Amino acid sequence: MRPVDLRIIARDLGLICVLVGLMALATLAVAAAWGEHQMFLPFAVAGGVALALGTALYLPFRGGSEAHLKHGLIIAALGWLLVAMLGAVPFLLAAGGPDSAPEAVFSDYGNAVFEAMSGFTTTGLSVVAHPEDLPRTLQWWRSFTQWIGGIGVIVMVLGFIPTPIRPGRGLFFAERDSKIQPSITATIRTMWWIYILYTFIGIVLLWGVGMGIWDSINHSMTALSTGGFSTMSESIGHYPGWGIRLVITLLMLLGATSFATHYDLLQGKKLNYRANFYQARWLLYFCGGAAVILTLQGVLSGGSHSLAASAFQAVSAATTTGFGTESLVSWSEASKLILIVAMFIGGATGSTAGGIKVMRAVVLLRGMGWWLSKTISSPRKVLGFRMGSERLSPEEADSRVQGAAVIFFAWLICTLGGTLILMHFIPNTYTLADSLFEVVSAQSTIGLSVGITHAEMSTVAKLVLILNMWMGRLEVLPVLVMFRAIFRGLD
């Protein structure tokens, strides 16, 4: 890799480190508000370490040219690893108290990195058995990492950390696939006011239906970011009544809907079959279909889970949020398989959700029929490819179908590879379906678990799930570009 490329990458990685440092220092206000003085040192040290590393990377290489897409992809791949390692520092330092304290689980740095990676990638798998016993500052840190991770650490850096270099297309598109406004700056500003507005509305609604204000703040942040961390070990199952669950369902659906769709709706634009609303419509079809199929499966198999729980769990999986109302350990293999498919597909492109994205699934399904029609039709016949009101030329259709197929294939390889390795490092009581479920949950950044994830699982098992969370949040491509750059350069 050329020195000029390394300078650009180091400079922008420094800004990402600064972001984590500022997050840690901001969390000191939470520790002060709750009188948790034992949390001052962990977060002050974590903030100082992150800021020092960021300064060391940024200052020598400040200025210069903006990052192109090839740089942005590598910065995204390395940056998400960095935020997990730095985000683990407060967990690790906070674990220095008595062994009986709930935060003592983070005395293992592997557990601390696992929790931080799960937070920033909005996965929600957790090594904490009883999050309600954690200090409020650590509860906040878990939710805060998911809230920032939902909109994206690079979006946060471009929007809130002033630099001499204007926000570049390459860095932005390494994490986000489209703009809402003509400029990158305006797009970031629009995304943030939508995100903050919905978070505030979620807090008010949850508080209004009976959830405590502290839990309302945390759950609104982790529902809208489709992260799924909860302040309770029973997750949403801790709260009686369906008022809270209906609000959580609404927030999950909002989080899994693209920012472009929200912008159009908030601007009062008429609903039509343009790309944004076409995708939103398919997301609702997908969530509704998953809920119906899982409910029918529960009825036909005589499962112990209720119809309401089936519907909630299906939406939680399809939006890649990961909240639960009951344990999935006793659910049938068929029910787990339905959830696996829902988790694998995921939410809308341009949203906070994970998975291969519902629009890619639609493109692949329609593409199959289109290719079959091409195969049996006359060579002179031009077959159109339509997505909502959008008509694609044969060349555009080819490109879109092939792009979706590449992502699907890469996703499948990573999922199967992770499942194969994980099976050898978990107890034999877990089945193939259990292993596949846990890996898909990590890869699609969901957080539903059949019990495999816990603080005492093997180091290799933790590493496998960490890598799946990392690759899933990045949709694999930046990771492939990073390895190509290591072995073959960027030219």
d(CA 103, CA 132): 11
The pair of structure tokens assigned to 480 is 């492939």
For residue 430, pLDDT over 60 is answered with yes
Query: Mean pLDDT, to the nearest integer, of 431-449?
Result: 95
Exposure string for 386-411, b = 16+ CB within 10 A, e = fewer? ebbeeebeeeebbebbeebeebbebb
pLDDT at 260: 87
pLDDT at 163: 61
CB atoms under 10 Å from CB of 173, counted, come to: 18
For the chain, the farthest-separated pair of C-alpha atoms sits apart, in whole angstroms, at: 77
User: Is the Cβ–Cβ distance between 130 and 455 less than 8 Å?
Assistant: no
Is 282 or 156 the better-scoring residue by pLDDT? 282
pLDDT in tens, 170-193: 677 777 777 777 777 788 888 999
SS3 114: helix
Q: How many residues does the chain have?
A: 491
Using a 10 angstrom Cβ sphere, with 0-12 exposed, 13-18 middle and 19 or more buried, the burial of residue 378 is exposed
Among candidates 324, 326, 362, which has minimal Cα distance to 446? Answer: 324
pLDDT at 276: 66
At 390, the pLDDT band (50, 70, 90 cuts) reads: confident
pLDDT at 381: 65
Among candidates 419, 443, 426, which has minimal Cα distance to 344? Answer: 443
User: Is the Cβ–Cβ distance between 329 and 448 less than 8 Å?
Assistant: no
Query: Mean pLDDT, to the nearest integer, of 78-103?
Result: 90
pLDDT at 71: 82
User: Minimum mean pLDDT among 76-80, 272-276, 389-393, 448-452: which range?
Assistant: 272-276
SS3 113: helix
End-to-end CA distance of the chain: 8
pLDDT at 273: 44
Using a 10 angstrom Cβ sphere, with 0-12 exposed, 13-18 middle and 19 or more buried, the burial of residue 100 is exposed
pLDDT at 47: 97
d(CA 467, CA 246): 33
Exposure string for 289-320, b = 16+ CB within 10 A, e = fewer? ebbebbbebbeeeebebeeebbbbbbbbbbbb
At 485, the pLDDT band (50, 70, 90 cuts) reads: confident
For residue 165, pLDDT over 70 is answered with no
SS3 324: coil
Cα 306 to chain centroid distance, Å, stands at 28
User: Is the Cβ–Cβ distance between 356 and 345 less than 8 Å?
Assistant: yes
To which residue do tokens 């500052």 refer? Answer: 137
Which DSSP letter does residue 388 get?
T
DSSP code per residue over 128-142:
-S-GGGS-HHHHHHH
Domain-by-domain residue ranges, the chain?
3-182
Is 399 or 440 the better-scoring residue by pLDDT? 440
CB neighbour list of residue 60: distance below 8 Å, 6 or more residues apart:
10
At 298, the pLDDT band (50, 70, 90 cuts) reads: confident
User: Is the Cβ–Cβ distance between 455 and 111 less than 8 Å?
Assistant: yes
pLDDT in tens, 229-266: 999 999 999 998 889 999 999 999 999 999 988 888 88
Taking only Cα atoms into account, the Rg of the chain, rounded to an integer number of angstroms, comes to 22
Phi, psi of 455 (to 5 degrees): -65, -25
Distances (CA, A) of 131 to 103, 136, 234, 370: 9, 9, 10, 49
Is 312 or 399 the better-scoring residue by pLDDT? 312
d(CA 328, CA 308): 14
pLDDT at 303: 60
SS3 390: strand
To which residue do tokens 């002179």 refer? Answer: 380
User: Is the Cβ–Cβ distance between 387 and 275 less than 8 Å?
Assistant: yes
Query: Mean pLDDT, to the nearest integer, of 424-437?
Result: 93
Percent of the chain at pLDDT above 70? 92
Predicted structure pTM score: 0.93
d(CA 67, CA 217): 36
Chain-wide mean pLDDT for the chain? 88
pLDDT in tens, 329-387: 878 888 899 999 999 999 998 899 999 999 999 999 888 887 787 777 766 666 667 77
d(CA 245, CA 205): 11
Among candidates 375, 359, 220, 226, which has minimal Cα distance to 284? Answer: 359
- Name all contacts of 95-102 with Cβ < 8 Å and 24+ positions apart: 96/42, 97/38, 102/128, 102/129, 102/130, 102/131, 102/133, 102/134
At 102, the pLDDT band (50, 70, 90 cuts) reads: confident
d(CA 422, CA 18): 34
CB neighbour list of residue 443: distance below 8 Å, 6 or more residues apart:
354, 411, 414, 415, 418, 468, 469, 471, 472
